[in-house]
Amino acid sequence: MDLQALVRLTLALAIGLLAGLERGWKNRDRPEGARVAGLRTFGLIGLLGGVCGTFPDPAGTWLLTTGFGAVGVLLAFGYNASAGRGNVGITTEVSALVIFALAAVGARGYEKEAAAGAVVTTLLLRYKPVLHRWVENLGRGELEAVLKFLLLSAVILPNLPDRGFGPWKTLNPYHIWWMVVLIAGISFAGYISIKTLGPKGGIIATSLLGGLVSSTAVTLSLSRLDRRQPQNYRLHAAGIVLASTVMYPRILLLASTVNPAVARRMAIPIAAMALAGLLGAWLLARGTDAAHRPESTLFRNPLELHMAFFFGAALAVVTLLSVALKRWVGDAGVYAAALTAGILDVDAITLSLSRLARGHIEPDMAANAVLSAAAANSASKALIALFVAQRRLGLLAAAGLAASLAAGAAALALF
């Protein structure tokens, strides 16, 4: 046997043992013989899949089919016996078939894919309670929104035309909708995290995750909450600064996804603003009840279809406006568009300018304009805190946001 075949068989055995370790640990309290499959059985199933996958076609195909069918029949007998004892779940049986298939895939030359699949399979088995809790916290409306959005992104997106339309050929339907999918996915991850966490993590955790959904929504919510709980003004201010701080790495992530050149040019100022924001939030929260549970902090589902279409339309308008102002007014037009758009939302202008930096504008200009939009957005949140919340919170939040912007301006000037 050559060395490559030996390595692949070893991988197949390791794949089976990995899943078998999890299954054996989970059912460790059951007596011997009461389990359908444990560590040894999974290891042997993985090894069998590796052996069947090692042989070349056409004999290999026949062996894989026969081996998979034989394992399925044996697992069916095992399930029948287990069901007779009141155990009706089929997770172990299905996972055993998956392990056989992954071991065979690895033996066929797809070692990285097989190893990754085995790790994911084991994680799914291990984190059953967490996954079930996520499902329990997922409302019907949110589930429907996910399904509809997946339909639009998985079915419609690949069929959208990938070319420019409109004035100066700046509106590319495929690129615009791809960016909608990107921003909605990031926002939905934060939204689900908050739904799963609930109020247990307190204001700091809610603000941190809420910054992924909408730092403006966090600012408005905590500003309103401060009028009912004025004694927690420092904690509320820390939450506002922290949610706004999350915006900075989020901007960098969006820019790097669309145009890494733009992201590189603003990485140092973004890092300075993020560090200053974290420090400010820590100083404000220090000595307070950081685990204080907020009242219901509500966010709108970022995967609601009308919100996705609205963001797509906003993205198209911002893109077209940026190009138009650049042609009509010059460089000042780009900054004017960034400042105006940044007051309401910084995501659209970040994505638009990052894409336009591939030919319509210079990457340096795009980076500086995005930073200007971030400054405008932070200023708008400071005004929300000043006018909606009690004066103490407004001043503290505005000071924290101003310190963060000052750190970014200093870094930009120095580097």
At 3-39, the pLDDT tens digits run: 777 888 888 888 888 888 877 676 655 555 555 566 7
Residue 182 has pLDDT above 60, yes or no: yes
Bigger pLDDT: 271 vs 155:
271
For 191-220, give one letter per residue: b (16+ CB within 10 A) or e: bbbbbbeeeebbbbbbbbbbbbbbbbbbbb
Backbone angles phi, psi at 294, to 5 degrees: -75, 160
Angstrom distance (rounded) from CA 125 to CA 49: 20
Q: Residue 334 — very low, low, confident or very high, per pLDDT cuts 50/70/90?
A: confident
Q: Give 299-319 pLDDT, tens digit per residue.
A: 566 666 677 777 788 888 888
Per domain, the residue ranges of the chain are 3-126, 139-414
Give residue 252's pLDDT.
92
Bigger pLDDT: 393 vs 167:
393
How many C-beta atoms lie closer than 10 Å to residue 157's C-beta? 14
Give whichever of 155-159, 299-303, 383-387 has the largest mean pLDDT. Answer: 383-387
For residue 165, the cross-strand partners are 171
Say if pTM beats, i.e. exceeds, 0.85: no
Using DSSP, state whether 345 is helix, strand or coil. coil
Maximum pairwise Cα distance, the chain? 79
Percentages of the chain per state (helix, strand, coil), in multiples of 5 = 80, 0, 20
Give residue 290's pLDDT.
53
Give whichever of 80-84, 99-103, 145-149, 307-311 has the largest mean pLDDT. Answer: 99-103
Residue 276 has pLDDT above 90, yes or no: yes
Mean pLDDT of all residues in 199-204? 63
